[in-house]
Chain A
Amino acid sequence: MTDIASTRPTSMRDLAAARKREERRTRAFLLAPAMAILIFAASGPLLIVLVYSFLTPGDYGGVVWEFSLKAWFNVFAERDFFTEEIELADAHLSIMWRSIKLSLMTTVICLIIGFPTAYFIATRPRGTRDFWMLLVIIPFWTNLLIRTFAIMELIRNEGTFNSFLVGIGVIDTPIQMMFTEFAVLVGMAYVYLPLMILPIYASMERFDFSLVEAGYDLYATRFQVLRRIILPLVKPGVVAGSILVFVPCLGAYVTPRVLGGGKNMMLGNFIELQFGQGRNWPLGAALALTLLVIVMVALIFYVRAVGREEVRGHG
C-alpha cells in the first residue's frame, strides 16, 4: 500500500469530505435513540395537541375530526347561552389570573426566604458548605407528592398545627386552612423553595468577598453593601431562581389539587378537568397550549435578562 499512496497524493478536499461524512454518520447513530424517544413521547405529541385544539369535542371525550376555532375562542370568551352575546370567559380568566398571581406570590416568598439562606450557606466555611447544600438538595429530590402531603398533614383541621393550638388552648375550633389559596401558596412555596436557593447559591459561591471589604473600606453601610455590591453581582442567580420557581408554579398540578381542592383550581387542574369530567378535549388542548405560551414568554424574558447581564459582564 506504500507505493500506491506515494504515487497518487490524496486530495485534501476529498479526504475532508470523507471524514465529514463519517463523522455525520457517527453523530446520527449516537443521537438516534434519544431523539427517537423524545420526539415520540415528548415533542411529537405536542404537535398533536396543537391539532386537537382546532377540532370539535366528542360527546364522551375525545374529538370529532371537524375543524373548529371554538376551543380557542372559549379560552378567553364565551357566548351567553340565552342572549348570544359575547363576553369574557370570567371563570377561565380568573383561573388564569389565580395561577399567575399565586405563582408570583410564591416566587416572592421563596426569594425572601431563599436569598438569605443561600447567603448563609455561601458564607459558611468551605468544608461545611457541602453539608448545608445537602440539606437543601434532599428535600428537593424528595417526591413532590410526599412533600405536599407533609404540608397537608401539618395544616389540616385535624393536623399537627391545629391540634397543637387547640391542645394548648389558644383556639377552640381549628383554623380552616386546607382548600384555601393560602394553603396552595404555603404548599408551593414549601415545595419549590430549594429551586430558589440552588441557583442563588451557585452564583453566590463564586462571589469574591474582598469586594465587600472594599465596599466597607469605602464607607458603605451593611445595607449599601448588600444593595450596591452583592445584589448586582449575584443577580443572574436571583433571576434564574425566580424563573425556576415561577415556571413550575404556573403549571403546578399536584400541590393545588391536594391543598386547594376544587375551589382553588389552577391552570393545571383546569386543563385536567377538560380531559376528565369536562369532556372537552379541544378546550383542554387549547388551554394547555396557552399555558405553554405563558411559560415560553417567561423563559424568553429570562434568556433576555441573563443574556443582557452577560453582555454587560463582558463589556
Chain B
Amino acid sequence: MARGKGFDVTRQPGFTTVALLCFVMLYLPIVLLVVFSFNDSTSVAEWGGFSLRWYQSALENERVQEATIRSVIIATAASILATGAAVGAALATTRTRPWRGQTVVFAIVNQPLMVPEIVTAVALLIFFAMIKVATGYTGLWYLIIAHTAFCIPFAFLPIRARLQGMDLTLEQAAADLYATPWQAFRRVTLPQLWPGILAGAMLAFVISLDDVVITEFVKSAGQDTLPTYMLGQLRRVVTPEINAISTALLAVSVLLVMAFFFLSRSRK
C-alpha cells in the first residue's frame, strides 16, 4: 500500500472531493450574483457585456439612497450602543466574583441568539404597536433599540472572550501600583481590550446591517432599510439593480468580516 508516497493517515476516501465541491457550491451563487451585477442587459442570465449601469441606476434611485442612509444610521447607532452595553456586561461577568443569578444574566444576554428571530420580531411588533398607540412616536428609535438588543450578544462574545483571555495579574499590578479601579481600567484594561471592542462593534454593525426579519416587523411605513427594500422589490420584476445593491452590501460585509478575522487573530 505504501508505495512511493507513503501512507497518509489523514486520508478518507471522497472527503476531499466533497469538500472542494462544497467550496464551489458556497461561492458559485455569490460569484454569479456579483458577475451579473456588471451585466449590461436586463436579463440576469444572459451576458450583455460589462457595464456599471445598474450601479448607477441604484445610486440614482431615491428610495435606495434613503434606505442606505437609514441602514447606516441604524447600524452605526445600534453597534455603538450595543458595544457600550456589552462592555459593561462583559466586565460584570468577568471582573466581579461569580454571583447567584449569573445564569439569568447569561440567558438574557444570549436570548437573541436562541429565540428564533421571527418570535422576537412578533413580540416587538406587538410591544412597539402598544407604545406607538400610547405615545404617538413613530420615529427611528424603535428600530435602533430593537437592533441594539439583538446586537448585544454579538458584541458581548468577542469582548468577553478577550477579557477572559487577559492576564488578571496585570490589573492587580496596576492596583498594587496605586491605580484606583477606574485608573486601572483606563490605563491597563482598556488599552488591551480595544481589539475586542473593535471586533465586537464590527460584528454588531454587520449584524444590524444585514437584518431583515426584525426590521420588517418593527419598521413603520416608509422606514425601509436596504435589506427590507430589497425584499420588497422581489415581489416585482427583478432587475440587476438588486444585484448591484447586493454586491455593494456584500463588499461591505466581507471587508468588515475580514478585518474582524484578523483583529481577533492578532491576540495570538
Contacts and interface: CB of A to CB of B under 8 A. Distances in A.
Contacts of A251: 116-119
B6 interface: no
Interface stretch (B51-59, B81-89, B164-172, B193-201): B81-89
B242 interface: yes
B246 interface: yes
Given A141-B257, A154-B29, A222-B12, A149 B230 contact: yes
Interface residues of A, number: 93
B88 A146 contact: no
B157 to A, nearest CB: 13
Interface stretch (A5-13, A84-92, A116-124, A232-240): A116-124
B230 A116 contact: no
Nearest to B144: A41
Interface string A57-76: 00000100000000000000
Contacts of B30: 139, 142, 146-147, 150
Contacts of B82: 37
Interface string B203-237: 00010011011000100000000010011001000
A41 B163 CA distance: 26
A49 B126 contact: yes
Interface string B234-268: 10000000110010011001101110010001000
A41 B153 CA distance: 13
Interface string A139-172: 1011111110111111010111011000000000
Given A193-B26, A271-B118, A150 B123 contact: no
Interface string B107-126: 01101101111111111111
B250 A275 contact: no
Given A41-B124, A49-B123, A150-B32, A138 B257 contact: yes
Contacts, number: 265
B29 A150 contact: yes
B10 interface: yes
Contacts of B20: 120
B19 A43 contact: no
A289 B119 CA distance: 7
B26 A136 contact: yes
Contacts of A141: 206, 210, 253-254, 256-257
Contact of B126 (A33, A35, A48): A48
Nearest to A294: B116
A228 B242 CA distance: 49
B127 interface: yes
B265 to A, nearest CB: 7
A49 B20 CA distance: 45
B223 to A, nearest CB: 16
Interface in B71-96: 81-82, 84-86, 88-89, 91-92, 96
Given A23-B97, A34-B86, A116-B12, A41 B146 contact: yes
Contact of A143 (B45, B116, B210): B210
Contacts of A41: 124, 127, 145-146, 148-149
B14 interface: yes
Contact of B91 (A30, A43, A120): A30
Interface string A3-45: 0000000000000000000011011011111110111111111
B36 interface: yes
B178 interface: no
A40 B145 contact: yes
Contact of B127 (A44, A226, A267, A291): A44
Contact of B149 (A42, A149, A152, A156): A42
A209 B30 CA distance: 35
Nearest to B146: A41
Interface in A170-213: 190, 193-194, 197, 209, 212-213
B105 A254 contact: no
A100 interface: no
A139 B25 CA distance: 11
Contact of A149 (B25, B33, B45, B81): B33
Q: Which of B116, B210, B213, B250 gathers the greatest number of chain A CB atoms within 10 Å?
A: B116
Given A35-B105, A251-B117, A288-B122, A113 B89 contact: no
- Shortest 7 CB-CB contacts between residues of A and residues of B: A251-B116, A120-B19, A45-B123, A150-B29, A41-B149, A34-B85, A163-B45
Given A143-B249, A222-B12, 10 more contacts: A26-B96, A37-B149, A38-B108, A48-B123, A121-B19, A138-B257, A149-B234, A163-B46, A193-B26, A272-B118
Interface of A: 23-24, 26-27, 29-35, 37-46, 48-49, 52, 62, 112-114, 116-117, 119-121, 123, 130, 132, 134-139, 141-147, 149-154, 156, 158-160, 162-163, 190, 193-194, 197, 209, 212-213, 216, 222, 226, 247-248, 250-251, 253-254, 257-258, 267-268, 271-272, 275, 281, 284-285, 288-289, 291-292, 295, 299
15 contacts: A30-B92, A35-B108, A41-B148, A44-B127, A117-B18, A135-B23, A141-B210, A142-B30, A142-B254, A145-B210, A146-B30, A150-B32, A209-B9, A212-B10, A281-B126
